[in-house]
Chains A and B, each alone.
Chain A
Amino acid sequence: MQTRTHPLLVAFSVLVFFFLLSPLVIIVGSALSDTSYLTFPPQGLTLHWFQNIFEISAFRRTMITSFTLAVGGTALSMLIGIPAAYALARYRVEVPRFMGNVFVLPILIPEIVLGFSLMKSLATGMGLPITLSLLVGHALLVLPYCVRVVGASLNNFDFSIEEAAVSLGCTRTKAFFVAVLPNIQAGIIAGFILAFITSLNDVSVSIFLTGPGVSTLPIQLLAHMEQFFDPTIASVSVLLMFVTVAVMAIVERTLGLTFLTK
């Protein structure tokens, strides 16, 4: 197989991967630098900047908000997304075409337009508290991931297993929990974790919905960057990269990372 690829193309791809990965290496390096400004290669090594993250209360606070929001928003989205994905897969023939398309809308509408519209209608119009607006915004943002990844698992599921459970005396609800759910577990975990990281990294929706006292980590990072240019930002970035690694490990163990190429 290897012989079919021209060496020049291989060399080009090596450069592309260098281009993709070196900026991330630079962040790791500058997070460890013993200087009060960002520099690479690091001059002297220190973990001081990592300690600094937890000393800055704004980072501590927004980190907790972001994680809670990502878990809460994704959980809410899964709770309503799994039944929807089930309906789409199980009743494929009866369900009108547009229903599937509705769940693509949060991807189709530019995130920043969604953020702005939610700010006008929910936060200002209905006077919802910031945390609740953020929760709704993030649940919407990740709903397509939940419905699609769980849907992909359901499309591989043989519904005759469920029918068998029903004909053996299970109620419909019980059949779902004993026959369907265990078989789509991998899809649910992978969908959850992909939705989680999407929510955790979100800027465009959150930037309109954060307000006095309540902010998320990426928004706090943006604000911090405009004032200070010290290695603390790099060390927060490294922490976020650890989260990415954990997410990748979980996706690899459930659906496999090649799922992302489909």
Chain B
Amino acid sequence: MPRKLRPWLLSAPALLLVLLFLGLPVLSTLATAFGDPKGPLAQYATFFNSRFRMTVLWRTMEVALITTAVSVVVGFITAWVVAQAPARMKSLLIIAAVFPLLTGVVVRSFAWLVILGKNGILNDFLLWIGVISEPLTMLYTKGSVIVAMIYLFVPLMILTLVGVLEGIPQDLTDAAASLGATPAATFRQVILPMAVPGLIVGSVLVFTGSFTSYATPQLLGGERQMMMGTFLYQRAMVTFDWVGASTIAAVMVVVTLTTVAVMSGLARKLNPVAG
């Protein structure tokens, strides 16, 4: 076959799969809302004027932002310690972070049902040490969703940052120290700027992941803490309002793609190597 055509022929099956079975169906979902007889933006007007829908959107934003912020701080510190650890210890710690990451989201959310339930381990423990006199309601609160989400995404942040932090040459931090920089100054002026690309990648993964999650808010938040993912499912499969569900889907896609675009723009601007 002619050389020019070769890459196209080789990738044609995969390209077709993505374009036909992902591109077209998703575009048709996005187009659904615009096809409303009351006008192309009528569905969006309904969405953004509905107090209930906006509550769900803001709740999802809030949960995703808190999850991202906590994961960044916790993940950064832990990744730093992992990156500094001696080789043997380091591989053990990486195993300890990969294991939860590769364990399914249903299993990991289920663990928090067992921990946070009315007769759960945490309530048992608190009753036993006498801090509380009757079990607390922890499930189906925003807090329970956030805790489980942080649990879900911290390993991802650790693994994203370990590689980046390992890549910072020790010569650089040594040089900073020998030139009189305090550890805090070294962190601010050397380590942090070099970790920015990793922090951005990690934050995008965690934010979009938690913003679009389904299983965790379903199990730990229930109807009371409806989030965009569970809301989409409920509209599509319980009330069979496909137009409404498509609008929710469109909002989710816009938020996700905007986040990715803004953050990768930021990454290009802040990249110490390219700059």
Contacts and interface: CB of A to CB of B under 8 A. Distances in A.
Contacts of A23: 108, 111-112, 114-115, 151
Interface stretch (A43-51, A111-119, A160-168): A111-119
A118 B25 CA distance: 6
Contacts of A69: none
Interface string A87-99: 1101100110001
Contacts of A139: 17
Nearest to B108: A23
A10 interface: yes
Interface of B: 4, 6-8, 10-11, 13-15, 17-19, 21-26, 28-29, 74, 77-78, 80-82, 84-86, 91, 93-108, 110-115, 119, 121, 151, 154-155, 158-160, 162-163, 166, 170, 173, 183, 208, 211-215, 218-219, 229, 232-233, 236-237, 242, 245-246, 249, 252-253, 256-257, 260
A20 B98 contact: no
Contacts of B211: 110
A122 to B, nearest CB: 7
Interface in A96-139: 99, 102-103, 105-106, 108-114, 116-122, 136, 139
A27 B106 CA distance: 12
Interface string A239-262: 011001101100000000110111
Nearest to B16: A80
B13 A121 contact: no
B240 to A, nearest CB: 11
Interface string A1-26: 11011100110110011011101101
Chain B interface helix/strand/loop/mixed: helix
Nearest to B155: A20
A261 B162 contact: yes
B85 A103 contact: no
A84 B10 contact: yes
B249 A201 contact: no
B158 to A, nearest CB: 8
23 contacts: A1-B84, A5-B81, A6-B183, A24-B111, A38-B114, A84-B13, A87-B6, A102-B15, A110-B211, A112-B229, A112-B252, A116-B246, A120-B25, A121-B21, A140-B22, A203-B106, A204-B215, A207-B214, A208-B237, A221-B106, A225-B113, A234-B110, A248-B102
A1 B78 CA distance: 16
B15 A99 contact: yes
B10 A116 contact: no
B102 A244 contact: yes
A63 interface: no
Contacts of A64: none
Contacts of A87: 6-8, 10-11
Contacts of B77: 9, 12-13, 16
Contacts of B96: 17, 20-21
Nearest to B102: A244
Chain A interface helix/strand/loop/mixed: helix
A114 B107 contact: no
B110 A221 contact: yes
Contact of B14 (A21, A103, A240, A245): A103
Contact of B110 (A10, A27, A113, A204): A27
A106 B25 CA distance: 12
Contacts of B15: 84, 99, 102
A59 to B, nearest CB: 13
A233 interface: yes
A40 interface: yes
Contact of A200 (B7, B104, B162, B233): B104
A237 B18 contact: no
B260 A108 contact: yes
Given A17-B96, A143-B17, A225 B110 contact: yes
The 6 A-B pairs of least Cβ separation, nearest first, read: A201-B104, A23-B111, A110-B212, A117-B25, A261-B163, A121-B25
B28 A121 contact: yes
A88 B10 CA distance: 9
A67 interface: no
A97 to B, nearest CB: 13
B151 to A, nearest CB: 7
A178 interface: no
A188 interface: no
A10 B81 contact: yes
A225 to B, nearest CB: 7
